[in-house]
Amino acid sequence: MIEFTPAANEKYYFLLEGHPLTKYYLPDATDKGIALAVVTNQRELQFEIHQSVKDPAFQAAYIIGQMQHRVIFRQELTPGKQKINGFVNTKNLNSGTIQLTVFNSDGIPLAERLCFIDNKEYVQPAELVTDTISFAAKGKNHFSLLMKDTIVGNFSVSITDPAYDILPDRDNNIFSSLLLTSDIKGYVHNPAWYFRANNDSARRAIDLVMMTNGWRRFKWDDLIKNNKIPEYKYKDISFITLTGRANLLDSKKPFAEKDLLISIYNADSTSTFQLVYTDAQGYFRIDSMFFWGNTRLLFSDSRGKKSQYIEVKMSADSLAKQFSFPLMGKFPSLINDSLVGFRKAALAMDYDVIQKASGIMLEGVTIKGKRKKTPTEEIEEKYTSGLFTGMSDQILDLVNTIETLSQRNIFEYLQSRVPSITISNAGPFQTDYVLYYRGGATTSLTNPAPMVLYLDEMRTDATIIANLRPSDIALVKVYSHFVGAPGNGVGGVLSIYTKKGEDLRAADVSAVYEAYYKGYSVSKEFYSPDYKVEPAQQSKADNRITLQWMPDVFISDVNPIIPLSFYNSDRTKQYKIVIEGMTTDGKMLLLEKVISPKPF
């Protein structure tokens, strides 16, 4: 940083050392405006304003400071003075970027300055205790994370081999991301350094960053013209929102002002059902939904025998929105390129060795033969699980059937195919179905026990099943008794399975509109071997670089102690531990530590 007073009608430029042919010109000097200078220290901001008293349009009237769209102070300035000095007490402010703006009496911004407040109030203290350390191959380690007072929050823990880090130190962390780079635009080189180096040099350096990076949030000129705070570009998507329009099949007539049944079949074989009411144009909306993976949606009328064939046109929902982020430009790296290249080459060689090792390590091979399953047995194996795979009184395979399933629901089909089942229906529309199995027990001579119903191995009621078309059904199993049902299913059990995958695509599903939706990605638990539980793994090569990864550690306790246990690989000689997270009251935990063997 240099300071000088420009002369009138002069044009200034600077040269970079080693690049004498490129001139970088400074903005032209002008005799209009004011000059704002700010000096920051740990307790206050000292500002100094220089102005001409000849032009009323460039007379400072007041100064405003704002953080995160909140005005934190407004200070009136003495008019008619060429030099104005003042200060802002910052010791009780939250840390982050503060924007100082000087206005004239008409509310026109004259000068602006960004400053960084770092009061450390955001730091959540913690201590890492190394209870048991072992650098031996597959040696067990046990650490403890200790915090004081009442702690409620979420944290993540990673334990890696620092010998395979591309960079010697992380260039970004939870402090720098939330407090610095997310609040200013432009590239910041190695932002974590400003929080890692707690000294005067770091404070002076981050002040230079404030003076050379622009403001991300808004411009006062735009705010004055529009007279409103601009909306955020990215909004809360409120989980999954499904919207669309239902029409009668092969027509433009809306399925208006009726209950629409949405059957949701998740990737993990669980299912749920939602009723939504359509408006006068057939539009529907259901929000705040949450499901995982590739999910099948079936839309149908919910009025039993009076149900109509429909089709649904889905609208773009909340998760289908695409958010484009600006590409970051390339900047010259200050990191030793040869060191980075060496580390990348070492990783590539290491990966190749692991792959080859995986290819040549063979387990014992056992070849067994068995009779070929019938198509119905294959369907049963595909759809059933657990207790439902047991013996049943009767199985109906509706995937491989040659019958034409013209009935309106599965109950009408069962009446014609399974004489041992009696089906009665009542209610104003005769849609309240009750099923009885002739071979089942009765509670009395006059009150036989009704059958227990399952849909995709989840207990349900007859109304939900009645809204499914027979062409949606893959398999029906009938049990005279079932150990997994209440009371052992003394009245009999009916288990129905809906089609999925290729079976569904090959079926006639014109009566029920089908859609697929890709929900939230399924998170997988990080595998960390436990050689005490899996002693057979001891003989296998262990070349892991990440030894432990716990992305979601929830804590709600007083003076909590969080145990961290893991086994070493065959080659790791140092442990790099990174723990980050945030409490519900806004404090952030950042703990980075490399543990090495003690020298002899």
For residue 64, the cross-strand partners are 74, 101
Structure-token pair, residue 113: 């300055």
Query: In terms of pLDDT, which residue wins out, 239 or 599?
Result: 239
Q: Say whether pLDDT at 30 is over 90.
A: no
Provide the pLDDT for residue 305. Answer: 63
Q: Which band of pLDDT confidence, cut at 50, 70 and 90, is reported for residue 292?
A: confident
pLDDT tens readout for residues 459-486: 988 888 888 878 788 999 999 888 888 8
pTM over 0.85: no
What are the backbone dihedrals phi and psi of residue 558, each rounded to the nearest 5 degrees, phi first?
-105, 125
Q: Which two tokens stand for residue 43?
A: 């307790």
Name residue 462's beta-bridge partners. Answer: none
Question: Is 508 a residue whose pLDDT tops 60?
Answer: no
Residues 6+ apart with CB under 8 A from 104: 56, 57, 58, 59, 60, 61, 110
List the one residue out of 505, 570, 520, 579 whose CA is nearest residue 541.
Answer: 570
Pairing mode of beta strands 96-103, 62-67: antiparallel
**304 dihedral zone (left: phi>0; alpha: psi -120 to 50; beta):** left
Q: In what order do the strands lie in the sheet with 44-50?
A: 35-40, 44-50, 83-89
Looking at residue 218, its pLDDT comes to: 58
Contact 34, 51 (CB under 8 A): yes
More confident position, 355 or 402: 402
Q: Please, are residues 83 and 52 in contact by the beta-carbon 8 Å criterion? A: no
CA angle 147, 151, 154 (to 5 degrees): 100
Look at 26-35, 189-198, 339-348 and tell me which has the smallest mean pLDDT: 339-348
Show the tokens assigned to 369: 């033969």
Check whether 224 has a pLDDT greater than 80.
Answer: no
393 neighbors 374 (Cβ within 8 angstroms): no
Residue 298 near residue 272 (C-beta atoms within 8 A):
no
pLDDT score for 332: 46
Res 553 pLDDT > 70: yes
* 579 closest CA partner among 174, 195, 197, 177: 174
* Distance (Å, whole) CA 318 – CA 353: 44
80, 53 contact by CB (below 8 A): yes
Q: Bigger pLDDT: 174 or 304?
A: 174
- Band (59; pLDDT cuts 50, 70, 90): very high
Q: What is the mean pLDDT of the chain?
A: 84
Q: List b or e across 44-83, with b for residues whose CB sees 16 or more CB atoms inside 10 angstroms.
A: ebebebebeeeeeebbbbebbbbbeeeebeeeebeeeeee
User: Residue 37: its pLDDT value, please?
Assistant: 92
Long-range contacts of 15-20 (CB under 8 A, 24+ apart): none
Cα–Cα nearest to 300, from 269, 259, 245 = 259
Lowest mean pLDDT among 232-236, 459-463, 488-492: 232-236
pLDDT band at 294 (very low <50, low <70, confident <90, very high): confident
Residues in the chain: 600
H-helix or E-strand spanning residue 48: strand 44-50
pLDDT in tens, 434-457: 899 875 555 555 678 899 999 999
Give the per-residue pLDDT at 227: 61
Provide the terminal-to-terminal Cα distance of the chain, rounded to the nearest Å.
47
Given a cut of 90, whether residue 342 has pLDDT beyond it is: no
* Highest mean pLDDT: which range of 60-74, 348-362, 406-420, 432-446: 60-74
Contact 22, 29 (CB under 8 A): no
CA gap 413, 465 in Å, rounded? 12
pLDDT level of residue 75 (50, 70, 90 thresholds)? very high
500's enclosing H/E stretch is: none
What mean pLDDT do residues 337-346 have?
68
Give 537's pLDDT tier (boundaries 50, 70, 90): confident
**pLDDT above 50: residue 134:** yes
**Mean pLDDT within 518-527:** 82
SS3 272: strand
d(CA 468, CA 410): 7
499 contacts 386 by C-beta, under 8 angstroms: no
Domains of the chain, earliest start first: 1-119+173-233 (2.60.40.1930), 122-161+544-600 (2.60.40.3880), 240-314 (2.60.40), 375-508 (2.170.130.10)
Strand partners, 97: 116
Question: Which secondary-structure segment (H or E) carries 225?
Answer: helix 220-226
C-alpha to C-alpha distances, 572 to 96, 157, 343, 526, 596, nearest whole angstrom: 38, 18, 16, 19, 10
Q: For residue 334, what pLDDT is reported?
A: 47
Annotate 390-403 with three-state secondary structure: CCCCEEEECCCCCC
Residues 157 and 549 sit within 8 Å (Cβ to Cβ) = yes
Average pLDDT over residues 58-76: 91
Q: What pLDDT was estimated at residue 364?
A: 65
Q: Is the pLDDT of residue 82 over 60?
A: yes
Q: Does residue 124 surpass a pLDDT of 90?
A: yes
**Residue-level pLDDT at 429:** 54
Among the residue ranges 1-15, 240-254, 309-323, 478-492, the one predicted with the least confidence is 309-323
Which pLDDT score is estimated for 280?
94
pLDDT at 200 (0 to 100): 82
